[in-house]
Structure 1
Amino acid sequence: MSTQSETVTVRLSPETKSRLETLAEHTRRTKSFLAGEAIADYVERELAIVEGIKRGLADIEAGRVTPHKEAMRRIRATIDRAQKS
């Protein structure tokens, strides 16, 4: 996380707020620190998913695809080999 920070208001259910307070006590961290870490992790994960989708769409547009029947044939062959091992 950056050393500079900005303020964001987040609405939480009373249950989530209570659980965040409990976690803060147990970890000796502030609620703000934990919330900031959780949001940063979530954003990174979601952006990675979005980038993966964009790469997949680019592959489709470029014709880099495997027909369903061929993909299933390969999967079944891999499963058969693994079961024989």
Structure 2
Amino acid sequence: MSKSQIITARIDPEVMELVDRVARAQGRSRSWLAARAIEKMVRAEVAMMDFIQQGEDDIAAGRFLTQEQMEEWVENRVRNRQAMRQAAE
């Protein structure tokens, strides 16, 4: 018995033509291509959701900079970089 599951989706004819084109070019089936596309998309979405959650957790824990603090940090980085360039000359 296979561990994979079946999913059904409606695809516009124009998109289906593209699916068929890519599947032929790669020597793969529509099913294989659809499974890889879904996997890639959901992994990217989960990574983004995790990234956002980490940010929200950091904010809740007070680990963040205000706009003013961030601007000051950037200005300091620029100044330090300029000083390093001048020292190297």
TM-score (norm 2): 0.82
Match of residue 29 from structure 2: 30
User: After the TM superposition, which residues 2-81 of structure 1 pair with which residues of structure 2 at under 5 Å, given as runs?
Assistant: 4-80=3-79, 81=81
Q: Give me the identity figure in percent.
A: 28
Q: Per the alignment, in what secondary structure is the counterpart of residue 63 of structure 1?
A: coil
Q: When the two structures are aligned, how many residues end up with a matched partner?
A: 83
Deviation of 1:70 after TM superposition, in Å, equals: 1.1
Q: Aligned AA for 2:53?
A: K
TM-score (norm 1): 0.85
Q: Aligned AA for 1:73?
A: E
The structure-2 alpha-carbon separation of the partners of 1:71 and 1:11, relative to structure 1 and needing over 3 Å to count, comes to same
Where structure 1 has 5 or more consecutive residues not aligned to the other structure, the ranges are none
CA RMSD between the two structures: 1.9
Where structure 2 has 5 or more consecutive residues not aligned to the other structure, the ranges are none
Bigger Rg, structure 1 or 2: 2
Q: Aligned AA for 1:5?
A: S
Deviation of 1:40 after TM superposition, in Å, equals: 0.4
The structure-2 alpha-carbon separation of the partners of 1:79 and 1:32, relative to structure 1 and needing over 3 Å to count, comes to farther
Q: Per the alignment, in what secondary structure is the counterpart of residue 76 of structure 1?
A: helix
Deviation of 1:78 after TM superposition, in Å, equals: 2.7
